Chain A
Amino acid sequence: MAYSVEISRANPTCFVFLLDQSTSMEDPIAAGGEGTPKRKADAVADALNRLLFELSLKCAKEEGVRDYFHVAVLGYGARIGSAFGGELAGRDLVPLSQVADNPLRVEERAKKVPDGAGGLVETTARFPVWVDPVANGGTPMTQALGQAAALVERWVGERPGSFPPIVLNLTDGESTDGDPSEVAAGLRSLATADGPVLVFNLHVSAGQAAPIVFPASDANLPDDFARLLFGMSSPLPPHMLHYATTQGIAVSEGSRGFVFNADITSVVQFLDIGTRATDLR
């Protein structure tokens, strides 16, 4: 059965994040509520920092973060390349423990926690930042997917028995270097013995506020960019569908790894590294 190999330190898998840093990311995303709309660049940088936060947390143990994953973050805009800064600048696939230990900075952010008496009290929590928002240049998505394919091809060649690599593209979908569908299909055709590479997409858009999460068809998608990214996205494997269902996420047979103007950090929880730690609720 595909996608059943255990992800472990002895047999890790890799996560390649693609981060759209083009000028169009300066535009605001569609906002449903009051206040200043967030820029697309802010939305994808936030999403990426949160994904790395959740991934690190998932693998954190007493001795540190375990290297169940190796992680690359490729930015694409005026240039294509590693979006890591600081100690990790210029590096592609980095063991997760090094990612966790080397954010650009760790910010103190306010958060509300239960006060034990039914109310909430404000406190602070440390939140690491690996990438800052960037919006500059064209959108060479096709080339970026090609670079991701090169990284993934190297990985599956070196670790043919691993859980298949996951490529997660965070973008507004407005590719300026041609139709990326073919490169994405090539990426999905790469495989380990445990199954084909998974390609997921987070689409941030100015066009519509209503979020769409893991749709099974493109019938209700608002525009061609969304349909393009949906078409590039892999179907969620059965165990991910099952887990999503248990978490109350509405998925169905054929649901794809595509999210529109919504939170995509749940994909981190779709990955099995052992017995899950969840509240009895």
Chain B
Amino acid sequence: MHAVPRHAVVRRAVLRRAPLTPAGLSYTVLSGPKIGSSETEYEDAWFVSAQRTGPRASATGGCTVAIADGASESMLAGAWADRLTRAVGGFAGRDLGADVFAERVCAAAARWPAHVERYVRRRGRIGRPIAWYEESKLEQGAYATLLGVSFRWSAESESELAHSAGVLGGTWSAAALGDACGFHVRDARLAEAFPLERSADFDTSPHLAGTRAPDRELIEARTVVRHGTWSPGDVFYLATDAAAQWFLAEAEDGREPWREIDEVCDAAAPGDARAWLDKLRSERVMRNDDVTIVRCRLDANAVR
């Protein structure tokens, strides 16, 4: 797995293709805390898996991108969001379904108490033992929304969906719990939005992945799954709720929000991203919340 820092306002990275995966994905992450919060209080998370290589890799490989948004009312929400993105990013290109998605959430939740115990011990060691309100709050658990998207590249041996659709790119699959959204843009057109499709669908009580005795069947039932094909040149934008709601509202008004994101992602100075977010928030077209946008550009398949 390729671990990436999650605290930068804007980071660019190109995911290099492994030898067996001639296709490629390049991604740019735009992220920042809400106004009034420090960088350390940013509670979103994102993760991009390395493409699978080695004996167990498929002929074509793949990549999984995950984002999560820690619920602001819970403690250690950022750490939980980070763990969730790593758990889902571990799919590394394999198809995402509600069953495996729920399984990963539950497995991460099973490991959570040990994390909390270490946190409590560390607080004691540094002379800041847990206060009464932290004790009660930690018992309530941590919560986050979660979205994962896996990309696969087509080859003769697989991707029937891509072949039947006659595309040169490949297939994608997505699983989402809550209101972190994915947007598939093709030929300057919003081809698909998931799991939410309207800006009016957002509120402060999205479905969440929680640490406290998660109900696997319920998570599975509430997980929204999408599948599709992608073509070279397609772009996917993964966004946590404030940015996703803004994106949908702009699209509903006939604008092309992806162009604005592209301009910011391609700008020379990282500070441009912060200025852009601040402007949208001050104009009240974007809610003041942590923002994470991962732009994924899918390159041509050289094999075919």
List chain A positions with a Cβ less than 8 A from chain B: 6, 8-10, 53, 56-58, 60-65, 100-101, 106, 125-128, 243, 246, 272-281
Contacts and interface: CB of A to CB of B under 8 A. Distances in A.
A10 B215 contact: no
Interface in B121-141: 131-137, 140-141
Interface of B: 34-36, 41, 69, 71-77, 131-137, 140-143, 145, 204-210, 212, 214-215, 218-219, 222, 241, 287-289
Given A56-B133, A280-B210, A8 B288 contact: yes
A276 B132 contact: no
Given A9-B36, A10-B35, A280-B207, 14 more contacts: A6-B287, A60-B75, A60-B134, A60-B137, A62-B75, A65-B133, A100-B131, A246-B205, A272-B204, A273-B73, A274-B204, A279-B141, A280-B214, A280-B222
Binding site secondary structure of chain B: loop
Chain A CB count within 10 A is highest, among B132, B134, B140, for B132
Given A6-B288, A60-B75, A60-B137, A280 B208 contact: yes
A273 B241 CA distance: 15
A129 B224 CA distance: 44
Give the most central of A62, A100, A272, A273: most B CB within 10 Å: A62
A184 B73 CA distance: 32
Contacts of A58: 73
A274 B73 contact: yes
Given A10-B36, A276-B73, A106 B132 contact: yes
Contact of A125 (B136, B205, B210): B136
Contact of B204 (A60, A61, A65, A275): A275
A278 B208 contact: yes
The 3 closest A-B pairs by CB, nearest first: A274-B72, A277-B74, A277-B73
A276 B135 contact: no
A126 B132 CA distance: 6
23 contacts: A10-B35, A56-B133, A57-B137, A60-B134, A60-B136, A61-B75, A62-B75, A62-B76, A63-B41, A65-B133, A126-B136, A128-B132, A273-B72, A274-B71, A274-B204, A277-B140, A277-B141, A277-B208, A278-B205, A280-B207, A280-B208, A280-B210, A281-B218
